[in-house]
Amino acid sequence: MKRVLNFIDGQFEPPCSGRYLPDVNPATGQVIAELAESGAEDVDAAVAAASRAFDAWRRTPAEERSRLLIRVAERIEENFEELAQLESEDSGKPIALARRIDVPRAVRNFRFFATAILHVETPAHMTDDRALNYTIRQPLGVAGLISPWNLPLYLLTWKVAPAIAAGNCCVAKPSELTPLTADRLAALIAEAGIPPGVVNIVHGPGASAGRALTSHPKVPLISFTGGTKTGADVMAHAGPLFKKVSLELGGKNPNIVFADADLDQAVPTSIQSSFANQGEICLCGSRLFVEKPIYDEFLGRFLEGTKKLRIGDPLDASTDVGALVSDAHRGKVEGYVALAREEGGEILIGGKRPRNLPERIQNGYFLEPTVIAGLDCGRRVMQEEIFGPVVTVTPFGSTEEAIAYANSTRYGLSASVWTRDLQKAHRVAAAIDSGTVWVNTWLLRDLRVPFGGMKESGVGREGGFDSLDFFTEAKNVCVKL
């Protein structure tokens, strides 16, 4: 059985506990590997290795750091198919999605930040004829990076690349549910020639390995992506140590379709935004609001398209909907379907475990794409992040009503607006409380733009120079003239 070990100081190391956790393929229910059950001692060793490597790495010229990061991107490209397969087997996601989104994005993350650091500028301020102020930006030291299971390699590299591009060393703690691509990445990083200690990866549970990182006194910075509740725990431990913290948390994103929308685009993209990756993307549009005059037509086409989604073996390239990440997570999602019924909602389609699955995946954690109507915005199903293949659909009567519905949750990560009326699009985009608003599209990502959430969807922004700002500290030098 494959054993996933920690990667510390350029070496694969067993956990101090000597214990391992099972790693399950959610499509089959089979244990496919075991991973290090690490704790504070392992995190200590990783932080010590990162601290030792920091001085030389921060002094490595930007062009050299850039060259090494590009080599990592090339190594990922060379191992593209293996990584796509590992990601699919570890998380249950369709391999087509891993090929189209997860692995290409990991490559882009390294290339993007490798080149971004060659274009950094810092300001200077003249204080009349009395002084020259100039700003320098310096890496902080050891960055703590905690990533989730829904886009494992994509989100891990979204943190590792800018952290080390900016001159920090890092200790990363990937999700214990999906350690395989992080393990492969560690080997590729070593092959690319990134010096030992610059990137360290510690596997294991959030409550032990994760918390050891958020409360470690020698880790001045934490970048976290995960659930909102966990984000609060990260903040509670990092806060008293005055760490710099960036939190990318949950979402309950509205998808607003006005009567003048181009339904030929709005319908298929809304099906994607509802069910891509089984709805396990923080940016999924889980609350659909449709303007009354087109409600019936839109819903008819939306349901028809949803029924055509192919649920099946994630390793089959034609599968659209794979398995949920774990049995426990499927149970949570099913709990919300039951709650929707109690709250007076109508399950229009889905809500059940699919039957007649091929032999190989009969014990997998599958759930049909589910569409729920008839719930008020205040209901729990309309308020809480479900993070599964479940979407609610609600008619609205006016633009003001759509905005009020959109803003009626404690989340504020992203939104989509569908209309041909540009003025309305700009007005609604300005009025929605969310870090990202897409107009007539979804999930179109330019890596330069600020990315993050409002309200309980997060703290801070990453992306482009926002990431490089986060992973460095500004220092002003004032020279008297």
Phi-psi category of 242—alpha, beta or left, where left has phi over 0 and alpha has psi -120 to 50? left
The answer to whether 282 is a known catalytic residue is: yes
Binds ligand TXE (CB under 6 A): choice among 179, 206, 322, 345? 206
For residues 113-152, which are near ligand TXE according to CB under 6 A?
Answer: 146-150
Minimum CB distance to ligand TXE, residue 384 (Å) = 8
Binds ligand TXE (CB under 6 A): choice among 230, 255, 434, 436? 230
Measure the CA–CA gap between 20 and 9, rounded to whole angstroms: 21
Measure the CA–CA gap between 368 and 353, rounded to whole angstroms: 6
Binds ligand TXE (CB under 6 A): choice among 88, 91, 157, 225? 225
Q: Which two tokens stand for residue 138?
A: 């310096």
- Residue closer to ligand TXE by CB (options 234, 347) is 234
- Residue closer to ligand TXE by CB (options 33, 257) is 33
- Residue closer to ligand TXE by CB (options 226, 364) is 226
Residues 6+ apart with CB under 8 A from 205: 21, 37, 176
DSSP helix/strand/coil, 478: strand
Is residue 207 a contact point for ligand TXE (CB under 6 A)?
yes
Is residue 350 a contact point for ligand TXE (CB under 6 A)?
no
Is residue 175 a contact point for ligand TXE (CB under 6 A)?
yes
**Backbone phi, then psi, for 413, in 5-degree steps?**
-90, -60
- Stretch (H or E) spanning 112: helix 103-116
With CB under 6 A as the contact rule, which of the stretches 13-21, 116-124, 208-216, 297-305 interacts with ligand TXE?
Answer: 208-216
Measure the CA–CA gap between 323 and 357, rounded to whole angstroms: 11
Number of residues that bind ligand TXE (CB under 6 A): 25
Minimum CB distance to ligand TXE, residue 78 (Å) = 27
**Backbone phi, then psi, for 335, in 5-degree steps?**
-60, -40
Minimum CB distance to ligand TXE, residue 162 (Å) = 18
With residues binned 3-state (H G I as helix, E B as strand, rest as coil), the percentages for the chain, rounded to 5, are 45, 25, 35
Describe the strand order of the beta sheet including 472-480 as a list of residue ranges: 124-127, 131-139, 472-480
Beta bridge partners of 200: 171
- Report how far Cα 388 is from the mean position of its chain's Cα atoms: 14
- Residue closer to ligand TXE by CB (options 261, 324) is 324
- The sign one gets for the Cα dihedral 283, 289, 293, 296 is positive
Is residue 249 a contact point for ligand TXE (CB under 6 A)?
yes
Q: Which two tokens stand for residue 77?
A: 């490209």
Minimum CB distance to ligand TXE, residue 466 (Å) = 17
**Contact in structure between 478 and 456 (CB atoms under 8 Å):** no
Is residue 463 a contact point for ligand TXE (CB under 6 A)?
no
Which residue number is nearest to ligand TXE in terms of Cβ?
A: 206
Is residue 47 a contact point for ligand TXE (CB under 6 A)?
no
Minimum CB distance to ligand TXE, residue 330 (Å) = 11
Beta bridge partners of 4: 35
Binds ligand TXE (CB under 6 A): choice among 387, 405, 411, 438? 387
Q: At what angle do helices 103-116 and 80-91 cross, to 10 degrees?
A: 120
Measure the CA–CA gap between 188 and 194, rounded to whole angstroms: 9
- Report how far Cα 471 is from the mean position of its chain's Cα atoms: 18
With CB under 6 A as the contact rule, which of the stretches 13-21, 38-46, 169-177, 192-200 interacts with ligand TXE?
Answer: 169-177
Catalytic, out of 170, 282, 284, 377: 282
Catalytic, out of 37, 89, 176, 248: 248
Binds ligand TXE (CB under 6 A): choice among 214, 246, 274, 467? 214
Is residue 442 a contact point for ligand TXE (CB under 6 A)?
no
Half-sphere exposure of 148 (CA within 13 A, CB side): 18
- Residue closer to ligand TXE by CB (options 226, 314) is 226
**Backbone phi, then psi, for 347, in 5-degree steps?**
-85, 105
- Residue closer to ligand TXE by CB (options 167, 226) is 226
Is residue 183 a contact point for ligand TXE (CB under 6 A)?
no
Minimum CB distance to ligand TXE, residue 442 (Å) = 15
Burial of 57 (0-12, 13-18, 19+ CB in 10 A): buried
For residues 366-385, which are near ligand TXE according to CB under 6 A?
Answer: 385
Residue that the structure tokens 């009503």 belong to: 401
Beta bridge partners of 12: 7
Minimum CB distance to ligand TXE, residue 436 (Å) = 13
Is residue 234 a contact point for ligand TXE (CB under 6 A)?
yes
Minimum CB distance to ligand TXE, residue 154 (Å) = 10
Catalytic residue numbers read 248, 282
Kindly list the residues in this chain that would bind ligand TXE in the complex (CB under 6 A): 146-150, 173, 175-176, 206-207, 210-211, 214, 225-227, 230, 233-234, 248-250, 282, 385, 387
